[in-house]
Amino acid sequence: MRPRAASLACIRADVAHVHPADIGMRDHAPMEDSSDDDLVDTVTVHLREHDLAQVRAVMARHDASDLVRLLEREDGRDRAVMYRLLERQKALEVFELLDAGMRAELLQGLRTEDVARFFEEIDPDDRAQLVDELPAGVAQKLMRGLSPRERELTAPMLGYPKGSVGRHMSTEYVRLMPHLTTGDALSHVRHRGGDAETVYMLPVTDRERHVLGVVGLRQLVLGRPDSEIGAAMVEPRVVAATDDAETAARDVVEAGLLAVPVADGEGRLVGVFTVDDATRILEDAEDRTAARQGAAEPLGRPYLTTSVFGIVRARVVWLLVLAVSALLTVQVLGFFEGTLEEVTTLALFIPLLTGTAGNAGSQAATTVTRALALGEVTKRDWLVVMWREVRVGSILGGLLGLLGFAVGGLVFGWALGGVIGITLIAICTIAAVVGGAMPMLARAVGADPAVFSTPFIATFCDATSLIIYFVVATWILQL
């Protein structure tokens, strides 16, 4: 790896100082008439001052040919950074004006690890405003021949947010035109398919790369050689490069597709997203959900090859958080200590009641979390979910309450039986509602529904059920 250029190092050191409010705020004099040297100086100064918004604003006021001359004077890394700060349309025009050698050098610069890291370290909100999606054609050239790991490193460059389809797509595909015959298309695949990630799903586009349809290799092989691709292609299920990768992955798998075309904001083909990437993404998501449901972070590697310390680290934070939350139960019981001293028998039922509340709550939470993950329920359904859980919880509470009344009444007398029965009805209902509400709430605020894990809900239900228990007891036993 070559040593890092000084100017880039100095930008990186303080990149967090860029604020969205900076963008286009300071009004410099128009620069259209100034010489190329002036442009170079101005941009270089802004770059050294880490004022990316100004770099972008200044460049926006120049036409493509000026910008080409600017880029030709810079070294590889500064060139790459400046180029990525261009608006999309400008970036496309500039790329088309560059000669072959300069194009190769620019792409080389864009692939450099510290340029990628530089953009990764910009605050995501700033980045969204500073860095447009790369023009589809440039993106493809940039990604061509990169290994999956290199692609992942380069991803921040492309302007696709973390966890988006753009970070997981492949840019090695074979694209067809609608006017081709099936026979010609097959020869095209034969010549171009060598490096493609898949040739089983072939996107059909116009000259500007707008996705028109898809055709399967099966259709090319089985179809009549003189039929036109435009007639054979089917309506594509296109995903946007900025779409959430997990949602897109679930769609691909549910629809039983081998691959889908990925388009940029203007509907132009930038890549393909294949079923094996989709299943890998879903697998990772399941790992995360499974771990979080059990109040731990995913290990990220096989259990037996994770160090004991690594396992401790995945569990310790949640365990501490939950233990500290459980101090609430100590306070609640402290408040009712007098009642407990009077009727010690009440203490006997504490684990039974808190446990049942926890179970009822986690049943509801698990169901709703899963339904959210599968897209069966969306955050707008919260009222329906609540109402269902009220009914389910009260029916379950009614059944358990009857049992609690009978058993408790027979062994400890009917007054205590009544306390237990009524408490069970109330806590089952509340636990089911809370258990159903928590994942909905998490989703509504943009968090992972699985963070409101079974243990988290159990802890929350513990405190609630203790309060209900002692209020009911005080009332029925007239303490």
Residues numbered 387-446 forming contacts with its own copies, rule: CB under 8 A: 388, 391-392, 395-396, 399-400, 403-404, 407, 428
Stretch that binds its own copies, among 45-53, 263-271, 320-328, 440-448 (CB under 8 A): 320-328
The one among 98, 462, 472, 473 contacting its own copies by CB under 8 A: 462
Three-state DSSP state, 287: helix
Cα–Cα distance list, 296 to 110, 319, 384, 438, 449 (Å): 38, 8, 30, 17, 14
The rounded Cα 318 to chain-centroid distance in angstroms is 22
- Closest distance of CB 294 from its own copies, Å: 3
What is the DSSP track for 329-394? HHHHHHHTHHHHHH-GGGGGGHHHHHHHHHHHHHHHHHHHHHHHHTTSS-GGGHHHHHHHHHHHHH
- Using the minimum distance from each CB to its own copies, give the nearer residue, 130 or 232: 232
- Using the minimum distance from each CB to its own copies, give the nearer residue, 3 or 309: 309
CB of 79 within 8 A of CB of 71?
yes
- Closest distance of CB 153 from its own copies, Å: 21
What is the DSSP track for 41-104? HHHHHHHHTT-HHHHHHHHHTS-HHHHHHHHHHS-HHHHHHHHHTS-HHHHHHHHHHS-HHHHH
- Closest distance of CB 269 from its own copies, Å: 20
- Closest distance of CB 66 from its own copies, Å: 45
User: How many helices (H) does the chain have, and how many strands (E)?
Assistant: 22, 5
- Using the minimum distance from each CB to its own copies, give the nearer residue, 131 or 248: 248
226 contacts its own copies (rule: CB under 8 A)? no
Stretch that binds its own copies, among 47-55, 67-75, 299-307, 438-446 (CB under 8 A): 299-307
- Using the minimum distance from each CB to its own copies, give the nearer residue, 145 or 334: 334
Of 328-387, binders to its own copies (CB under 8 A) are 329-330, 333-334, 337, 340-341, 344-345, 347-352, 354-356, 358-360, 362-363, 365-371, 374, 376-377, 381, 384-385
Tokens of 444: 């509504």
279 contacts its own copies (rule: CB under 8 A)? yes
- Closest distance of CB 468 from its own copies, Å: 13
- Closest distance of CB 338 from its own copies, Å: 9
CB of 12 within 8 A of CB of 121?
yes
Number of residues that bind its own copies (CB under 8 A): 99
Stretch that binds its own copies, among 141-149, 164-172, 175-183, 454-462 (CB under 8 A): 454-462
- Closest distance of CB 274 from its own copies, Å: 9
Q: Which residues contact 470 (CB under 8 A, 6 or more apart)?
A: 332, 336, 339, 346
* Tokens 């006021």, located at residue: 61
300 contacts its own copies (rule: CB under 8 A)? no
CB of 137 within 8 A of CB of 209?
yes
The one among 154, 164, 454, 464 contacting its own copies by CB under 8 A: 454
Taking alpha carbons only, the member of 306, 442, 423, 305 closest to residue 372 is 442
CB of 463 within 8 A of CB of 332?
yes
- For its own copies, what does the binding mask look like between residues 177 and 206, x meaning CB under 8 A? ---------x--xx--xx----xx------
Of 98-157, binders to its own copies (CB under 8 A) are none
303 contacts its own copies (rule: CB under 8 A)? yes
- Closest distance of CB 312 from its own copies, Å: 5
Of 78-97, binders to its own copies (CB under 8 A) are none
Stretch that binds its own copies, among 26-34, 49-57, 99-107, 276-284 (CB under 8 A): 276-284
Tokens of 13: 């050191």
Q: How far apart are CA 294 and CA 89, in angstroms?
A: 48
Q: How far apart are CA 52 and CA 58, in angstroms?
A: 10
- Closest distance of CB 200 from its own copies, Å: 5
33 contacts its own copies (rule: CB under 8 A)? no
* Tokens 């400046």, located at residue: 82
Taking alpha carbons only, the member of 450, 454, 428, 455 closest to residue 439 is 450
Q: Which residues contact 362 (CB under 8 A, 6 or more apart)?
A: 435, 454, 457, 458
- Closest distance of CB 242 from its own copies, Å: 25
- Using the minimum distance from each CB to its own copies, give the nearer residue, 178 or 382: 382
